[in-house]
A and B are shown apart, each in its own frame.
Chain A
Amino acid sequence: MDTFIEAAIKVVAVFALLVLNTLLLVWAERKIVADMQNRIGPNRAGPFGILITLADGLKLFLKEHITPRRAELGTYLAAPAMALLPALLIFLVIPIGRPFHIGDRLITMQATDLNVAVLFVLAISSIAVYAIVLAGWSSGSKYPLLAGVRATAQAISYETAMALAIVPVIVFASTQAGGEAGTGLMSLSRIVELQSGSFGGFLPAWFGIALIPSFAIFAIAGIAETNRAPFDLVEAEQELVGGFHTEYSSIRFALFFLAEYINMFNISAIAVILFFGGWNGPTFDSVLPAFVSGLLPVAWFMIKTWVLLFGFIWIRATLPRLRYDQLMQFGWKRLIPAALVWLVLFVVVTGFKSFGAPWS
C-alpha cells in the first residue's frame, strides 16, 4: 500500500512539475525572444507578464471545438492525448534529485528507476511520432496530411542519430564503472551516480566533457526531435497555416502545444543527465541544514536544465529555418555518418584502452 501511495504522489508531482514548468517555459521563451529582438514581450498578465501562459491556456480552454466533417473522429480525438502521454511518460524515469530517507524508507527523486531507462526514453519518444502522423491523417484535410508525413520522416531520420549519439555514453559509463556490463548501466540514476566524481581533480566528471561530439549530435538531433527551430518545418508557423495541427482548435490544440514544451524540457533533462552530471553539484552537506542540502541537487538539476532550455530558445531566436531538402541532407549525409564515425572511433579507442591492441 505504501508503495502505491508513494507512486501516486510521485506521478502527481511529476505532472504538476511538468505543467508548471511549461507555464514558465512558454513565458520565458516569449520574454527571451522578445529581449533578443529589442522588444518587451508579454508584460500585462501578472508581474512581468508571468501569467501570460495561464491566460492563453484559459482562453484556449474556453474556445469552441471545431471538428472537420471529414475527420476520422476516433483517431482525431485520440491524437492530442497520444502526443501528450509520451511526453509525460518520459519524465517518469528522470531522476531530478538525490535519493533521501524518510525513516528507513529510501525515497528516490524519480517516479520509477527503470534499469533500461535509456531504451525506454528512446522508445517512448518514437511513439510520439504516431500522434503527429495520426493527427495529420485523421484531420481529413490534405495539408495536415502532408505535414504529418513530413514530420514523420524528420522524426525517424533524427531519432537514428540521437540513438547513435547515446551509445558512446553507455560505453563510457561502462568504463567509468570499472568495466561493468549489462542493462543496469542504462538506468538514468546509475548514469548520474557515475558522474559524481571529477576528472583529474578539477573538472567535474560529466560525460559531456569527455564526449563533446556525442553531446553535439544529441543536441542537434534533440532539437529536430522536438520540432524546434531551426528544424521546425513541421509547423513552420511563418510559412504554413500550422502543419499537422491545422484542423485542431481549443484545448485539443493546447495539448499539442503543451506536449511540445514538455518534450523540450524532457530533452533538456535527458541531456543534463547523460552529459552534464544530472543533479550532481556541490551540496555543502556539512555546513547547510539537511533539508537545504537535500534540496540543492534538485536546484542544480533545474539550473542545468534551464541553461539548456535557454540554449533552445537562443537557437530559435538566431537560426533561420532549414529547407526540407537541407534538413534531410543534413540528417542523413552529415549527422548520421558523423555519429557513426564517432561511435566507431570511440568504441575502438575504448576497446584498445580496456583490452589492449589485438596484436599485442
Chain B
Amino acid sequence: MFDDFLKPLAGFKVTFSQMFKRRVTTQYPEQKRVKPQRFHGRHVLNRYPDGMEKCIGCELCAGVCPARCIYVRGEDNDPEEPVSPGERFGFVYDINMLRCIFCGLCVEACPTEAITMTQLFEISVTNRGDAIYDKKALLVGEDGTPNHPLGDSPFIAIEELQAADGWMRATASAGRSAYEGVVAWTPSAGAGLRPAEIGQSTPSEDGA
C-alpha cells in the first residue's frame, strides 16, 4: 500500500533528470535542418540551359492537379522570337499556393519537366493575393535561381532561395538516344552535378 503511494512520485525523478539532458530544439531561423532530397517545397518553372522556357503550355499539370490550383493558358510561339522550343509556350501560369497540397502530380504529369518542386518552404504571406504565384514568380532566372514574389521581404532568406534544390537544369532527355550519358539534372544549384543516368540502350552493369 505504501509502495502504491510512492509510485506516482517516481515521475518527479524523471522530469528532474530531463533538465540536464541535451535539447532537441533546432534554432530555426539561424539553424536549418537538412531537408530530404525529395522534399516537396514550392514549385519553379524551369528553363533550358540556353534560356528557353521549358513549359509548352499543354495544361497537363492543370488537368492532373487534384486541388485544381494551377491555371495555365498556352499561346503560339512567335517563330521569329520563340519563348520555348516547341510550337506553343505557357503564356499564363498561376499556382494558388493556398490550395496546393504539394502532392507533386503536376511534376509527374509534365512532359518536359518544366514544372518541378524545390526545397523552398518559407512561403508564408500576409495577404491572400500574394499566395497566388504567377509566372513571373515561378519562372527561374537566367542563372537557374528561383524567384520569389516577395523577394525583398526581410523574412525571406535569400541564401536559402539561391541554394534551392530542384530539377532546375533538367534537360528532359525523355529517353532519346541522343541524350544518353548527358548530365540530366542536378539536385541543387550549388551542389555540383549528379552523374548521368544510364540510358535504355546501354548494357547494364551486370551484363544482362
On A, residues with C-beta under 8 Å from B are: 32, 35-40, 314-315, 317-319
For the complex formed, measure the closest distance between the CB of B97 and the CB atoms of chain A, giving whole angstroms.
Answer: 27
For the complex formed, measure the closest distance between the CB of B26 and the CB atoms of chain A, giving whole angstroms.
Answer: 10
* Contact bitstring B77-118, A, C-beta under 8 A = 1, else 0: 000000000000000000000000000000000000000000
On B, residues with C-beta under 8 Å from A are: 8, 11-12, 14-16, 18-19, 21-25, 27
CB pair B18–A319 under 8 Å, yes or no, is no
For the complex formed, measure the closest distance between the CB of B5 and the CB atoms of chain A, giving whole angstroms.
Answer: 11
CB pair A317–B23 under 8 Å, yes or no, is no
Q: How far is the CA of A42 from the CA of B37 in the complex (A)?
A: 31
Q: How far is the CA of A35 from the CA of B21 in the complex (A)?
A: 8
Given contacts A36-B16, A38-B23, A314-B15, 9 further A-B contacts (CB under 8 A): A35-B18, A35-B19, A36-B18, A36-B19, A38-B22, A39-B25, A314-B12, A314-B16, A318-B11
A-B residue pairs in contact (CB < 8 Å), sample of 16: A32-B19, A36-B15, A37-B18, A38-B18, A38-B23, A38-B25, A39-B23, A39-B24, A40-B23, A40-B25, A314-B12, A314-B16, A317-B15, A318-B12, A318-B14, A319-B8
- CB contacts (< 8 Å) of B12 on chain A: these are 314-315, 318
For the complex formed, measure the closest distance between the CB of B19 and the CB atoms of chain A, giving whole angstroms.
Answer: 4
For the complex formed, measure the closest distance between the CB of A27 and the CB atoms of chain B, giving whole angstroms.
Answer: 16
CB pair B11–A319 under 8 Å, yes or no, is yes
- CB contacts (< 8 Å) of B25 on chain A: these are 38-40
For the complex formed, measure the closest distance between the CB of B102 and the CB atoms of chain A, giving whole angstroms.
Answer: 28
Q: How far is the CA of A40 from the CA of B28 in the complex (A)?
A: 12
Q: How far is the CA of A272 from the CA of B138 in the complex (A)?
A: 65
- CB contacts (< 8 Å) of A38 on chain B: these are 18, 21-25
For the complex formed, measure the closest distance between the CB of B18 and the CB atoms of chain A, giving whole angstroms.
Answer: 5
- CB contacts (< 8 Å) of A317 on chain B: these are 15
The residue of chain B having its C-beta at the shortest distance from the C-beta of A40 within the complex is B25
The residue of chain B having its C-beta at the shortest distance from the C-beta of A43 within the complex is B27
For the complex formed, measure the closest distance between the CB of A316 and the CB atoms of chain B, giving whole angstroms.
Answer: 10
Q: How far is the CA of A37 from the CA of B21 in the complex (A)?
A: 9
For the complex formed, measure the closest distance between the CB of B17 and the CB atoms of chain A, giving whole angstroms.
Answer: 9
The residue of chain A having its C-beta at the shortest distance from the C-beta of B26 within the complex is A40
- CB contacts (< 8 Å) of B24 on chain A: these are 38-39
Q: How far is the CA of A39 from the CA of B24 in the complex (A)?
A: 6
- CB contacts (< 8 Å) of B21 on chain A: these are 38
Q: How far is the CA of A274 from the CA of B11 in the complex (A)?
A: 28
- CB contacts (< 8 Å) of B15 on chain A: these are 36, 314, 317-318
- CB contacts (< 8 Å) of A40 on chain B: these are 23, 25, 27
- CB contacts (< 8 Å) of B18 on chain A: these are 35-38
Q: How far is the CA of A295 from the CA of B12 in the complex (A)?
A: 34
Q: Which of B11, B14, B27 has the most CB of A within 10 A?
A: B11
- CB contacts (< 8 Å) of A32 on chain B: these are 19
Q: How far is the CA of A314 from the CA of B13 in the complex (A)?
A: 10
Q: How far is the CA of A32 from the CA of B21 in the complex (A)?
A: 13
Q: Which of B15, B16, B23 has the most CB of A within 10 A?
A: B15
Q: How far is the CA of A38 from the CA of B25 in the complex (A)?
A: 8
Q: How far is the CA of A319 from the CA of B14 in the complex (A)?
A: 11
- CB contacts (< 8 Å) of B14 on chain A: these are 318
- CB contacts (< 8 Å) of B11 on chain A: these are 318-319
Q: How far is the CA of A318 from the CA of B11 in the complex (A)?
A: 6
Q: How far is the CA of A36 from the CA of B11 in the complex (A)?
A: 11
Q: How far is the CA of A143 from the CA of B55 in the complex (A)?
A: 56
